[in-house]
Structure 1
Amino acid sequence: MSHTAHIPSHRKPRQRASKSALRAGVAGGVLSTIAVAGAAGPAQAEPVTQTIEMPTITAGLSTAVAASAQATQQVAFDLEAEAREDAAAESAAKKAKKAKAEAVRKAEAKKKAEAAAKAKAEAEAQERAERASRTAERTTLSAPSGSTASSSGNSAPASAPSAAPSAPSSSSNATGSAAAIVAFAQAQVGDAYVAGGTGPNAWDCSGLVQAAYRSVGIDLPRVSQAQSTAGTQVSLDALQPGDILYWGGAGSAYHVAIYVGGGQFVGAQNSSTGTVQRSMDYDRPSGAVRVL
């Protein structure tokens, strides 16, 4: 074999030796570095290690916790359902109470309406009876008016004795109308007094006087102040049936009535007495006017 052929085989061992030395040197250097660092560095305290024991959740405990949560949720559902039932019961009780109160109110209203209807029917029946009675009385009072005008005063109808003494002072022209006015006024005796009333069954003082004169075709002012100056002022000592009596001043009177003769008057006095026939001594008037 030639010298050249032995070169490769001669180099291979050397190459392996170099690699081995290199590897040995690297390893030795590392170990030397660690040894030097350990020798050169100060002694260090060993790290403190603390062991914490963690609770172990067993399968049984997990099941118990789940069951407890489920039971708590069920209790919450039950309480909520009970609360809803209580609220529904309270609402139903309120509605029932309201319905009962409404039924009682309607029953009372119906009862009152029936009582009012009954009272109205009775009042209407009584009013018709009173009207019939007044019509008969007016017919009786107005029938002898002509003879009263020409008589000495003793032939006045028995149903109106208070007007009998007044007839001699009447003239034939005024007596007929005066007698009708007196008859109208006396027919209203017993009617109620109502402020602003103009009949047919309730009057105030000037409303009665106005209606009495209107029955013979004479229109008077509505209020007592104007009626007290509607005619000629006359003395209380020279009164004739049908004259208007007033209380207060002429033009400022607060009350009026109709003189019916015999020292008496008919007037709608007040809510306590209603329409009455009274003596002038009961309440002396301030003055009088004559319209006829």
Structure 2
Amino acid sequence: MSTAAPLPRLCSGAVASSHLPRGLALALAALACAGWAPEEDAPTPPDSSSPTGGQQQPAQADPFEDPAPRDPDDTPFMPAPNNQLGQWSVGRERPLTRGFDDDHWVQLGVVPTYAAFHLPFTGRGEGPFRGGGLSLELDFRVVRWLFLRAFVSHTVHPVFAESSYDEESDTTTQLARGGLIQATNTGASAVYALDLGRFVPRVDVGAGLLFVRSPEGPLDGQWGGQCGESDACDPGLSCASDGVCRPTPVLEGHIGVAVDVLLGSHWSVGIGVRYYALFSALSELPVYLTGSVRLGARF
């Protein structure tokens, strides 16, 4: 009894069927392993020496091509505040007043002041007599562009003793004592304010009383001395019934300009100048000049 030889194991573990002739089985197995698809060429590897590594370069823009038109309305809004649109939740209050808006009814000002007198004082000449002091101002709004102001100020002006020397008699005569010329001013004015946003120019015109005190002196016409010719006395003094020069308030008129810079809802800083004239001596202008730094609180 003869035993048939085992059929060969083909690709992928396939074994030819025993029911087919051996030659036909081998042919079918060879076709199954080889497949029916045509042979494809393998992809070419990228050239490593190329700087782009085989990648396709993007097309370069034409330098002579005009850029596409841009709609300015497409620009996004700046962040709020400063009048720019913002993101608001439902029901949230939306303030419409800018932080530096000049909408207020009262302003209190503290004003450090430089001042100078241009008046003739007996034994001293016409000056100028420079000094400094402080002023307080309170403004009340009448309409949007008009304020009423009440103010009070005080300045001091140091002066030295004055004397004259006579060579013939070899004598020295005292003309004026050293000390302080003091000026106290109180009054009211109308203030025109132009609201330009953060900057607020102001023009004020008004009148008041000026109290001038000068050192007592040895000569006639000085404070505490006898009245001079035609009852003449130093500025701020008048000849009393007893023939002595005594302090008397003087009516003054003034005009000033200033510029304030708003620092928020309630604060401001600025600078200003003001010229004064005495109604009793309108030919002498100006008799009193002030320059100031303004610090304001607005409510």
Shorter-chain TM-score: what band?
Answer: under 0.3
Q: Where is the helix percentage greater, Structure 1 or Structure 2? A: 1
Q: Where is the strand percentage greater, Structure 1 or Structure 2? A: 2
The structure with the largest alpha-carbon Rg is 1
Instruction: Give the TM-score normalised by the residue count of structure 1.
Output: 0.21
